[in-house]
Amino acid sequence: MGFLGGSYLLLTLGGLTMVIPFLIMLTSSVSNEWDYERHRPVPLYLLDRRERYMKYLAEKYLSVQREFPRDFRLFTAAYRPPPQWTSFRAMREDPRFGERAPFQLGRYSGPARRSQLEAIKADYEDWLATLDPLMTLPMFGRFTIPAYQQFIREKYERVYLAQSGRERADMSWRELEKGALRAMADTWQEARFTSFFYLKMITEAALPYHLREWLPPLDERRLQDYLEFVRALPPERKVPITAQHLWVRYLENSAGDLAAFNEATGLDVDAYNKVRFFETEPDNPRLAELWREFVHHEWPLWMIELPGVLHRDWVSYLSGRFGDIGAFNRFVEGDYASWWDVPYTGSAPVDPLERNLWRDFLLSKDPEWLATCRVYPERSYRLFLWERYGSVEAVNEAYGWHLSSMDEAEVPIAQAEYAQFLEHERAFVRGCLTFNFERVFSFMAIQGRAVFNTFVLVVLSILATLTVNPLAAYALSRFRLRRTHQILLFLLATMAFPAEVSMIPNFLLLRELGLLNTFAALVLPGLASGFSIFLLKGFFDSLPSELFESATLDGAGELTIFWRIAMPLTKPIMAYMALMSFLAAYGGFMWAFLVCQDERMWTLMVWMYQYQQTAAEFPYMVMAAFVLASIPTLLVFILCQNIILRGIIIPQMK
């Protein structure tokens, strides 16, 4: 009993060594930047709310593209974490993380505090809806990009239908997509995408909103569509570009060593994100010097709005620069009757040439005076609070704050996001469990004919395997050819060389026959298998000769004997061969990629490779693709394991 129990224990441990890696792969496929490298068999965020909250924040502030690390700077400006937390990975690996974070859990536990939190959230979302979309950034990059693709797709489908004069029901979805892509390319004046799946907010993520002289190119239709999309986003999917964020960015780039900064200012901060942006010049001399440099010479011009009384100054600047309206019209290719007809809104014009003149006009102004025309979310939020509550005391009572003046009010991004997390917690968890798989499946389903091609390839490969190999093996077994041993030796010799050795000759032959980019190219090289023929011949040889002799005496022909007598006896072996053929056809990548370079003939594995290149920056998305790709093989094995085991055991017994 002891030996038997030990054997079962060893077998159980051996089984766990196979199951646990699969569970880790499955957990990795439902992870994100926060927990991908944890390598746990069970997702921790399903059990711990703190993990869910941090996963929510990591997902929200995950950069749309890794080469634009702006999103974590937005996070540090809003949450002011310790200086050693330079990324979400550094946060996760901090041994004292539990003492320092999360940032809001436990602070709003009672009914009164929860009511205050709800008030903050409601006001924040109402205010955010009034904010210029230029001053907000879309967040939840992985979740928002599909929404952006769908938004643009639906818009340009409507454009294409209007241009073509046809109805949606009169065309296939593929034709409609191609028409929408053409309409989008013509409108944006850019190269056409092959699919909306490849449309990402890379250009928009690279907008240099922090640069002094950058002005938004509002004449570009792509930017207009992007701003329209941002305006339509729900409040939990975006954050404002605050002055605090720009101020912290400036300090990190310009203030130098933090210890020297503390010594010069008399402050005692452990990170620049702890230095608050002041509405007016601070009393601290060194801080005032940095503040003036930032506000007067680094403040972005697009966040400046001039009052209407400066219309005369704008006209004077243009007339002084060009002399007469005719010269100005020739420069901007306009048709203005007088200087007063040139548009003036207090902000950058839409026309690119006029926009450059506006930039020069702003730079000609006194920087100290120009700084009084700043517009930014904090100021907008304070005005919103004044209009809604009327006094600092009312704000303090509603929010549980302790402000002495409204100038101290900051945009409560952290508190509002915690309330949004509580509201959308369940939906977020569901999204974490399903989003990666939905994204991969949608990519595979819409790309070329991946599913159809793979299905046809698998069916043809299995049919060929179950037809050619049994016929060849039966012939070698029944007819006792003079060169049978040499033929078997030749067949077994093919097993000595890897498939890669024959790829180039096979490719050249198929090219000469004009079979590239066809199912024939995929199936013909694997039509026969030396191992399968050898295995089946041995099985046919083991059958008693009296079986065939009695069938012959009864008048059965060779095909009848083969089909009615020999083949039913080989079912376990044939099942094993069918499985091997399925695995080879379904999992084959290199040969399919080599002989079918037309995307319309790519199989799932080729598109899987393409997806790995597209989503390489998100390894958990690639892991979800691996999990999905393994499901058909897993199902085949589970459903056919008894037949497969018989196919493995019976040939050995014979």
The string of pLDDT tens digits covering residues 524-537 is: 888 888 888 888 88
pTM: 0.85
CA dist list (Å): 596 to 94, 195, 458, 599, 652? 49, 20, 16, 8, 38
The pLDDT of residue 1: 56
Which residues of the chain fall below pLDDT 50? 64, 66-69, 651-654
Domain boundaries, the chain: 302-373, 448-653
Token pair of 526 as six digits: 């694997």
The pLDDT of residue 168: 87
What are the contacts of 557-563 at 24+ separation with CB within 8 A? 558/478, 562/470, 562/471, 562/474
Under the phi-then-psi rule, with left for phi > 0, alpha for psi from -120 to 50, and beta for the rest, what region is 640?
alpha
The pLDDT of residue 654: 45
Instruction: Return the sign of the alpha-carbon dihedral for residues 98, 102, 104, 106.
Output: negative
If we measure between CA atoms, which residue out of 547, 581, 541 comes closest to residue 564? 547
Q: What is the pLDDT of residues 469-513, one digit of tens each?
A: 898 888 888 887 777 778 878 877 777 777 777 888 888 888 888
The pLDDT of residue 490: 80
Give ∠ CA 347-187-142 in degrees, rounded to 5.
80
Q: What is the pLDDT of residues 88-134, one digit of tens each?
A: 888 888 887 777 666 666 778 788 889 999 999 999 999 999 999 99
The pLDDT of residue 70: 60
The pLDDT of residue 647: 56
In 493-570, where do the E strands start and end? none
Give ∠ CA 444-69-373 in degrees, rounded to 5.
120
The pLDDT of residue 117: 93
Domain 448-653 has CATH 1.10.730.10: no
DSSP 240: E
Token pair of 409 as six digits: 């009010």
